[in-house]
Structure 1
Amino acid sequence: MALYHFARSVCAALFYPRYRIKVEGKENIPSEGPVIICSNHISNMDPVVVGITNNRDIYFMAKEELFKNKFLGGLLKRVHAFPIKRGMKDRQALRKAMDVLNDNQALGVFPEGTRSKTGELSRGLAGAGFFALRSEATVIPCAIVGSYKSKQPLRVVYGKPVPMADLRERKASSQEVTDVIMEEIQHLLDKKQ
């Protein structure tokens, strides 16, 4: 826990001035209870940026390959990352994510599953919808707008919670729920571009 907060402070001190980060909608993130923050994915630095721009401790899934290096893997685990096998069902990662939510923690998800090479939003994978349906978590859409190379500020916009009651009640599919979440992220991107 201590390493997470130390790393967040150091990263905030480095990232905010370098990328001129501006944050909007932070008040939409509940201060307690389970929450899923669903963001677009434009850079390997996105988890850091999402992590430093809100007050919740966020647990992220990261591709399994990053954990093969013992030092990096150990460090990632200490800052709340856990491995997921891409391209297949990973029951262990799914259980870990549900444990995070059942413990009233925050789970960070990049529904696209991989970085966008064009900056355009791709169709999200069903995982985000799966977690949203099988938990009582508040789902917060997030848009990272801008470029890590540009001289323009990098904006991080947190939207209002995605309405989940009707989707849960009518037993929508995981993919349907992910599609709704992606529409909300796209809406945030469209408003800021």
Structure 2
Amino acid sequence: MLYRTFRLFFRIIFTFFFRWEIKGAQHVPKQGPVLLCANHISNWDPPLVGSSLRRKVHFMAKEELFHIPLLSFLIRNFGAFPVKRGSGDKRALRTALDLLAEQKVLGVFPEGTRSKTGELGKAHTGATYMALKSKAPIVPVAIIGPYRLFRKIQIVFGPPISMEPYLKEKITSDTIQQVTDRVMGDIASMIAAERK
């Protein structure tokens, strides 16, 4: 119930204050596990992605945010769970894989941190590893800003990338990097197409 309330709240904000535009939402499967991989340009990104879809989206969020009582309550109810950044947090990884095993939607920002320039940064490979491990399709997501009051913000969902072609052999670091490059390439292409 709280999640729906938060989603409606953010939909109102993005509609009236940022003139948001959603494209390609039909690419997100209506059921089954899904990994959303988006570029990261602002703290607004998680609520933007989450409120763009009818399905509940769960996010990893840096552990420090969960030490702030009111904020912790809000982000937990908006589907977030803590991750220790830069430490290979096995507990967060297990939570993420459990959510995918439960046929849920997981949102990840492969760059790991916000881009100060708005340009795509180097991606970490953790999201791809989770997709290959769970066999969940990856939906690349392009967020095209910047966030400025009464200026358009766009979110574009690309066609899902199936992991099946990459699972014919044992998962290797080369395979993980190959899929990561494919995902980030798709995001870059969507951003370039919208900026034309």
Q: Which residue of 1 aligns with 2:2?
A: 3
Find the residue that maps to 2:167 and give its secondary structure: helix
Residue 156 of structure 1 and its aligned partner are, at CA, apart by 0.6
Q: Which residue of 1 aligns with 2:27?
A: 28
Within-5 A mapping of 1:30-179: 30-149=29-148, 151-170=150-169, 171-173=171-173, 174-179=176-181
Deviations 1:40-60 (A, max 9, x none): 000000001001111110000
Percent identity for Structure 1 against Structure 2: 42
Q: What is the distance in 2 between the residues matched to 1:49 and 1:135?
A: 25
Q: Which residue of 2 aligns with 1:181?
A: 183
How large is the RMSD of aligned CA atoms in angstroms?
Answer: 1.3
Q: Is 1:123–1:179's contact at 8 Å kept on the other side of the alignment? A: no
Q: What is the distance in 2 between the residues matched to 1:68 and 1:146?
A: 29
Q: Is 2:17–2:149's contact at 8 Å kept on the other side of the alignment? A: no
Find the residue that maps to 1:134 and give its secondary structure: helix
Find the residue that maps to 2:138 and give its secondary structure: strand
The 10-residue stretch of structure 1 (178-187 or 150-159) with the greater mean CA deviation from structure 2: 150-159
Residue 169 of structure 1 and its aligned partner are, at CA, apart by 1.9
Report the count of equivalent residues.
192
Where does the alignment leave 5 or more consecutive residues of structure 1 unmatched? Answer: none
Find the residue that maps to 1:115 and give its secondary structure: coil
Q: What is the distance in 2 between the residues matched to 1:77 and 1:151?
A: 29
Q: Which residue of 2 aligns with 1:190?
A: 192
Q: What is the distance in 2 between the residues matched to 1:39 and 1:79?
A: 17
Q: Is 2:136–2:162's contact at 8 Å kept on the other side of the alignment? A: no
The code of the aligned residue for 2:106 comes to L
What TM-score does the superposition give when structure 1 sets the normalisation length?
0.95
- Large movers: runs of 4+ above 3 Å: none
What TM-score does the superposition give when structure 2 sets the normalisation length?
0.93
Deviations 1:138-174 (A, max 9, x none): 2100001121116541111000012422222243533
